[in-house]
Chain A
Amino acid sequence: MAFGKMKKGLSKTRGGVFARMSRLFTAKRKIDEDLLEELEELLIAGDVGVDTTFYLLDRIRFRVKKERYENAEELDRLIRSEVSDLLLGEEIKQADSKPQVILVVGVNGTGKTTSIAKLATYYTNQGKKVLLAAADTFRAAAIEQLSIWGERIGCDVIKHQQNADPAAVVFDAVNAAQARGADYLIVDTAGRLHTKVNLMNELEKIKKIIQRQIPDAPHEVILVLDAGNGQNAVSQAREFIKSTDVNSIFLTKLDGTARGGVVLSIKRDLGVPVRYVGLGEKAEDMAVFDPAEFVEGLFANE
C-alpha cells in the first residue's frame, strides 16, 4: 500500500502543516482550560462538529486527570491516540468467490466517478481484472465520463443508454463480471441527495438486484464524501446506511484546505470508517486512509 502517500498529498498543499499544532503543544505550556479552548477551536474549524468535539475534550480532560499529564507536549500524543482510536475500522469482508462487488454511492458532486476511476486504477495496478458498471443513467454525460476513464485505465465498462433503468445496468454488469471472471465489479450510481426518498429506494433496489445473483454481495458499499462538507455529512451517511448498509467512506478533495473532520462524528455516531482518501484529479491521486496522518492534517495551520 502506498504508505506515506497521504501525507505527501496533504503536505503538498499545506505549507506549515504542523505549525499551529506545534505552537499549541510543544511550547512548554501547562495543560489548562485556555489550551483546551484553543483545541476546541481547532477541532471545530476542522468540521469535527460540536458534539464530537465536546466528547473528545471530555475524554482528554478525563485522561489528563487520571494519568496526570502536565505539559502540552504529552497532550499531543494523547490527542493523536484518542482520535486515531476513534477512526480505526475493521477489515472489509472478502467475497467467497469472484467477483468482489463494490457499490459506490453519494450525494451530487462529491466525486464518485473520479473516485471509481481511482479505485479501478488501484486494483488494476495490482494485476486485478476490474469491471465498471455505469449505473448513473441520470446525469447528462455521466456514462461518457465513466467510459473515458475506462478507456484510459484499460477496463471494460458495462453501460446502457441515458435514462435507462440503473437496476438493469447492474443486472447485466453482475452477469458480465461473473462470465468474464472479473476480480472486482465497481458500480457507479447517480448522485442523489439523501433526503430524496424515491431515489434512495432506487439504491435499495440496485442492492437487491446484486444480492439476487450474488447473495453475499455487495461486499463493500462506499459512501463518497466531499471533505468540504460540514455537519450535513452525518445526515448523508445516516440515510445512505439505511438504504445500502454503507461500510466504507471515500473522503475526496482532501488536497484542498478542507479537513473533513466530520468523518470523526460519522465514525463515532454511525460506526463507518474512512478507508480511502482522494488527493487530486488524476487516477493515481488516491491513498489508503491512515488515521495518524489524517490527525496531523486535521490540526493543520491555516
Chain B
Amino acid sequence: MLEDLTQKLENAFKKLRGYGKLTEENIADSLKEIRRALLEADVNYKVVKDFIAAVQEKAVGEEVLRSVTPGQMIVKIVHDEMVRLLGISTMDIKTAGIPPTILMLCGLQGSGKTTFAGKLAKYLKKRGRKPMLVAADVYRPAAIEQLKVLGRSLDVPVYDEGVGDPVKIAFNAISAARQQFCDTIILDTAGRLHIDQEMMDELVRVKSRVRPHEILFVADGMTGQDAVNTASEFAGKLDFNGVVLTKMDGDARGGAALSIRAVTGKPIKFISIGEKMDELEQFHPDRIASRILGMGDVVTLVEKAQDGIDQAKAKKLEEKLKRAEFDLEDFLDQLQQIKKMGSLESLLKMIPGVGKQIKNAQVDERGLVRVEAIINSMTKEERLNPKILNGSRRKRIAMGSGTRVQDVNQLMSQFQQMKKMMKQMKGKSLKGFGGMPFGLA
C-alpha cells in the first residue's frame, strides 16, 4: 500500500529530473498516485475528484524550488490544500451566557457516542466545568446503564428517567442540572440511521425543545465512502456545529474527516483515540492531512520530542557528541527522555513509512527496561568509562540487573557500535541532532 507517498512520487518523478516547472503532463502520474492514496484512505470519490482538480490547478506552473524534488513539491501542495480544506484548528466548545450550556451528541449506531460523552465530561471537568450526563438513549438495551457506570467512574452526575420520551428527558435534565449546580449538560442520544425519518424527527424535536448551544456529530474514523451521505443528512436535519472522529487509535487513515468537512463545511473539533476516558485530543488539520496521505505524523512526533526533552541536557549532549565523548551515563539519559515521550510503538508509528512496517513486528518495550536496569546496576565509574568492564564486573552487573551476561555483552557491543558511528559523523553538522534521540537509537 501507499505508506510512503512521497517516496512513491519521487519514483514517478525520477524521469523528470531537470524540469524546473510542474506542468500538466509531468504531474499526471503523481496525481494518479495521490488520487489512489486518497481513495485508499476512504476519502469520498467525489471529494477526491474535486480535490485533485483543485490541486492540479494550483500545481501547474508552480516553480520547483531548488531545495526540493518535484515529488516533495507536489506533496506539499496537496498537503497545504488539504489543511486549508480541513479548516482552522482548535475550535473549542461554546459556553452559554446563562448556564447550563447544553451539548447534544448525535450519530449512527456504534459510532462511539456514549464513550465520547464520558470523555467529554472528563475533558470539561478538567477545565473546571461541572458537567452532567443525560441518558436519552432509551432504545439500546443497557445503554442507560452504560452511561451510569461511566458517570460513576468519573464522578459525574447522570440524569435518567429510565425508558421514557427522549424529548422530555432532555428537557427535564435542564432543571435537574440547575438543581445540582451543573453548568454543562451532555446529552447522549440513541444511535440512529440517517434515513430513519422517525428517529431523525425525534432529534429535531429534542433540538427545538431544549435549544442546545452546540450539537456534535460523532462519526467513526473508519467510515468509508458513505460518510458523505450520513454527514450531509445529519447536517441537513440538525445543522450540527462540529464533528467528532472516534476510534482514531487504530490504523484507519481517517479520510472520512476530509469527506465530512468537504460536504458539510463543519469543523472537526475532537478526535477520540482510545477507550480510556482521558484519550481525547483536539483536532489538528495538518496532522490528519499527513495521516490521510500516509506521510506519518512528523509534527506530533517533533512536538512530543520537544515536550519530553530537557533542552539544556540536549545542548550538553550535543557538545559531548561533537567531541565523541558519549558515555553510558548519557545513554541512560537518552533512554529516559525517550520514555517520557510515550510508548515506543506509538512514537515509531509517527515516523513516515515506519507505521506499516512495524505493524506486525511487536516493539519490545521491556527491552528498554532491561537496558535501563543493566546501566543502573553499574557503578558511576563504569558508566563513565565502560572500558574497565571485565568479566567479573559484567557478571556482577548481570546479577544485579536480573539479566544474563550475554545481555550485558550485547548492550556493550551495541554501545561500541554507536560510538563508532558517532566518530564517523564527527565534523559533520550535528544541527538538530542533540534534540532528536532517534538519531541515536
Interface set of A (CB-CB < 8 Å, partner B): 13, 41, 44-47, 49-50, 107-111, 138-142, 144-145, 148-149, 162, 193-197, 226-233, 235-236, 253, 255-259, 262, 281, 302
Contacts and interface: CB of A to CB of B under 8 A. Distances in A.
Contacts of B108: 228, 253, 256
A229 B224 contact: yes
Contact of A111 (B110, B224, B247, B255): B110
B40 A109 contact: no
A256 B192 CA distance: 10
B23 interface: no
A6 to B, nearest CB: 17
Interface in B341-393: 359, 362
B269 interface: no
A194 B363 CA distance: 16
A166 B378 CA distance: 43
Contacts of B193: 13, 253, 255-256
Contacts of B45: 41, 44-45
B256 A230 contact: yes
B140 interface: yes
B96 to A, nearest CB: 29
Nearest to B113: A109
Tell me the interface secondary structure of chain A in the complex: loop
Task: Among A107, A138, A230, A257, find the residue whose CB has the most chain B CB atoms closer than 10 A.
Answer: A230
A259 B41 CA distance: 17
A140 B250 contact: no
B245 interface: no
A141 B143 contact: yes
A70 B193 CA distance: 41
Given A144-B141, A226-B220, A258 B226 contact: yes
Nearest to A201: B362
Nearest to A53: B39
Question: Nearest 4 pairs between A and B by C-beta?
Answer: A230-B224, A109-B110, A230-B42, A140-B149
A230 B225 contact: yes
Given A109-B110, A193-B250, A141 B149 contact: yes
Interface in B27-66: 36, 39-42, 44-46
A30 B152 CA distance: 65
Interface string B2-29: 0000000000000000000000000000
Nearest to A109: B110
